[in-house]
Amino acid sequence: MTAKRQPPIVTGRPRTFLDRGYERLRMIRLLAERKTQAEVAREFGCSQSTVSDFAKRYADKIAEVAADIENEFAGLWIAEKKNRVSELESQAEMLRQLIHDEVNRPEQTGFTADGEVLETGPDSEKVARLSRRLEGTLRAVAEELGQLPSRVAMVLGDEKGKYTINGVDIEKMK
């Protein structure tokens, strides 16, 4: 398998196959299982020096996974509650800032190329959409922390129920 370069991301740094969480975890797990760097390099289609640099950078994570190798979730940051809540907090802060920026956007009047008056200002629909997303994020945090009951689907078995509606003859409706 050869490593394919992807288009640049926001940081301006080109993406590599190791930017993908599942590929990074796969390399961590292979190194934690004591595969040689040469074997891992062949598996990923990269140089041994790339694997060596990776092993140095992620030495703590490799050791953590090696200590708990039977746990398929070892090494996944998202498997830890504190990390999930932290990500949700970052998302909530970003949404709050977007809402603030939109609400405080100054109203301006301008003209289109056709000479029509163009007025801009806060977009109430955008604020409503962002507010719903913020509400969902806050709900997810509350659920994660056990402050709200989880949504549970109940299955009561295969038995069919018999319903009676007063004043309605079901047989006549068939």
Give the DSSP letter string of the chain: -----B---TTSPPB-GGGSHHHHHHHHHHHHTT--HHHHHHHHTS-HHHHHHHHHHTHHHHHHHHHTTT-TTTT-GGGSHHHHHHHHHHHHHHHHHHHHHHHTPPPEEEE-TTS-EEEE---HHHHHHHHHHHHHHHHHHHHHTTSSPPP------SPPP----TT--HHHH-
Q: What is the pLDDT of residue 165?
A: 67
Q: Quick one: pLDDT band at residue 10, thresholds 50, 70, 90?
A: very low
Q: Quick one: pLDDT band at residue 21, thresholds 50, 70, 90?
A: confident
pTM for the whole structure:
0.57
Across 87-106, average pLDDT: 93
Q: What is the pLDDT of residue 6?
A: 45
Q: Is the pLDDT of residue 117 over 80?
A: no
Work out the percent of the chain whose per-residue pLDDT is above 70: 78
Q: What is the pLDDT of residue 69?
A: 92
Q: What is the pLDDT of residue 151?
A: 64
Task: Select the more confidently predicted residue: 155 or 9.
Answer: 155
Across 115-131, average pLDDT: 86
Q: What is the pLDDT of residue 164?
A: 66
Q: Is the pLDDT of residue 174 over 70?
A: no
Tell me the pLDDT tens digit for each residue of 49-91: 999 999 999 999 999 999 999 998 888 888 889 999 999 999 9
Task: Select the more confidently predicted residue: 148 or 70.
Answer: 70
